[in-house]
Amino acid sequence: MGQPARQLNGASPQDRVTQLLIKAQAALDGGDRQEAARCLQQVLTLESENIGALKGLINLALQADMKNIALQYAVRLLQVAGNSADAYEIVGLVFLELGRHEAAGAALREAMRLEPDRQSVLDNYCIVLQAEGKDEERVVFLEALLAVKKTSPRLWYAYSESRHFERGAPEVAQIRRLLKKPGLKDETRAQLQFALGKMLADGEDYDAAFRAFEAGNRLKCEAERKSVEAWRAGYWRNRAAAIAGFFDAERLAEWSSAGVARRGLTLLVGPPRAGKSLLEGGLAAHPALAAYAERTVVDELLKRHGALEGYPDVLESLQSEALVALGVRLDAAWGERPEQAIVSHLITTPGNIFYAGLILSLEPTSRLVLCRRDPFQNALAIFMKWFAKSHPYAWAVDTIAEHIAICDALGDHWQRRFPDRVTVADYDAILADPDATVRRLLAWHGLEWDAACANDRAVAAQPGVVGLAGSGAQRSAVDPSFARISEIYGDQRQAFESEYVAACQRVEQSWEAAGLSPPQQLCRA
């Protein structure tokens, strides 16, 4: 008799693949993305063309903001799946995340050609229309989709963001009826509540809007329970303190010889909703500056070398030659070589607040702009925003406040370590006089003012149309009314500021436990 098929843990390879896929889904349901990714990667070692595993890894990579890794898996999926609308749609979605709108549109149009009635493709094509500034066409598209997919939370949220809704709009009643349906998942209810909150706020029913945002955050917290608990247990504030302790004056002096000027980089960092995109729009209009948008290069580089979880301690043993080699790999990871005329590339990846010490050490011409906003305004703006990507801190006031405090503490550390290469951009100053802020930052780069950078060259948002800010095809003008949020919801200030003060105390304790002096720019409430 012939030998039986090779067994793994008492099961055939096919059974083992099934077990791993089930285990990955269970890990996802429990919020353990790392375990899910590990299981799916094991599936690919057993069955290299497993479409389910490739799709799962693409989704996980996008949630973790590893866009280039997601693209690698997406190209592999297209090779495996062949002439498939599903594969073209996924490739289009990844291109969209990378900000490559033309490529995304081409892939999604191919998916529509293969399956004209595929609703999810039409849904994603609406995002391309938004990115290209085709707002009216997008609204019509979304209304047509909702006529077919009346219960899609993603469509409802996209629709809520696509236009202005008057008080008493029939869509408000439609969402409220939908929320009463039994059996909806927490994630679904959460996104619907955020859509409802946006519509109610448009109609100036602010109390009801805030209650909807509260409900949405509470539900999303439950759906992301494991990640939220990790935040509350102190994982990120302790890690931030470890990073600050690692990049001390002595180490940076040792590393200074390893830095080689390859391309100018300007990191715009800070919490979400702190003004990064508003600044990027004006700065990127200058012919000597280019927008790299949210490139997750450092995360992906460290992950490829198995060093993401151990950062920064895994860098401890690197000597001069190894540091130079790391700098070469980092430069290559940014992609195409810079044009001679480009002085600096603007990067708005939020996570770079954790990697600033590494980037500023290895790229000696790089700069850091700390975007700061009143903590109450900033926390409230995050609290009222649905984030498609994984931001586990973004769904509760205490974790939002702690994220802002961590950004403040790390920003203070980088400013002390690199005083000539770090500056602050204040949100209120941007709103009061955007041209003055952009002019100052251009001079900091050694650049003259260019008329293309003026705020009046951008598109002013109309009441019935939502514009885009930042690196999309449409640059929105800075509007002072963005600051009205603190007036409208002023009765929430005390609760939010109390959480921020408590978060600052927790961050200070982590700094002290790591043997560091308390941050000087902490607790701005």
Predicted confidence (pLDDT) per residue in 474-502, tens digit: 577 777 777 788 899 999 999 999 999 99
- Statement to judge: residues 416 and 343 lie in one domain: yes
- Domain presence at residue 52: no
Give 447-451's long-range contacts (Cβ < 8 A, gap of 24+).
447/286, 447/288, 447/289, 447/343, 450/285, 450/286, 450/287
- Domain presence at residue 104: no
Tell me the three-class secondary structure of 180-213, residue by residue: CCCCCCHHHHHHHHHHHHHHHHHCCCHHHHHHHH
DSSP designation for 163? B
- Domain presence at residue 91: no
d(CA 374, CA 160): 26
Give the pLDDT confidence score for residue 7 in this predicted structure: 46
- Statement to judge: residues 168 and 266 lie in one domain: no
- Statement to judge: residues 413 and 470 lie in one domain: yes
- Statement to judge: residues 275 and 213 lie in one domain: no
Q: Who has greater pLDDT, 429 or 4?
A: 429
- Statement to judge: residues 399 and 448 lie in one domain: yes
- The model's confidence at residue 256, banded by pLDDT at 50, 70 and 90, is confident
- Domain presence at residue 67: no
Domain containing residue 301: CATH number: 3.40.50.300
The winner for highest mean pLDDT among 33-37, 272-276, 325-329, 440-444 is 440-444
d(CA 436, CA 476): 17
Give the pLDDT confidence score for residue 216 in this predicted structure: 98
- Statement to judge: residues 181 and 320 lie in one domain: no
- Domain presence at residue 245: yes
d(CA 259, CA 263): 11
- Statement to judge: residues 137 and 242 lie in one domain: no
- Domain presence at residue 168: yes
Of 223, 246, 267, which closes a domain? Answer: 223
Q: Residue 160 is part of which domain span? A: 133-223
For a pLDDT cut of 90, what percent of the chain falls above it?
45
- Statement to judge: residues 456 and 495 lie in one domain: yes
- Statement to judge: residues 197 and 241 lie in one domain: no
- Domain presence at residue 147: yes
Of 170, 205, 223, which closes a domain? Answer: 223
- Domain presence at residue 82: no
Q: Provide the number of structural domains found in the chain.
A: 2
Of 223, 258, 280, which closes a domain? Answer: 223
pLDDT tens for each residue of 436-469: 999 999 999 999 999 999 998 877 655 444 433 3
Average pLDDT over residues 41-66: 84
- Statement to judge: residues 241 and 195 lie in one domain: no
pTM of model > 0.85: no
Give the pLDDT confidence score for residue 406 in this predicted structure: 97
pLDDT tens for each residue of 90-125: 999 888 888 788 888 889 989 988 887 777 787 788
- Statement to judge: residues 233 and 323 lie in one domain: yes
d(CA 469, CA 275): 10
- Statement to judge: residues 156 and 296 lie in one domain: no
Asked if 298 and 356 touch (Cβ cutoff 8 Å), the reply is no
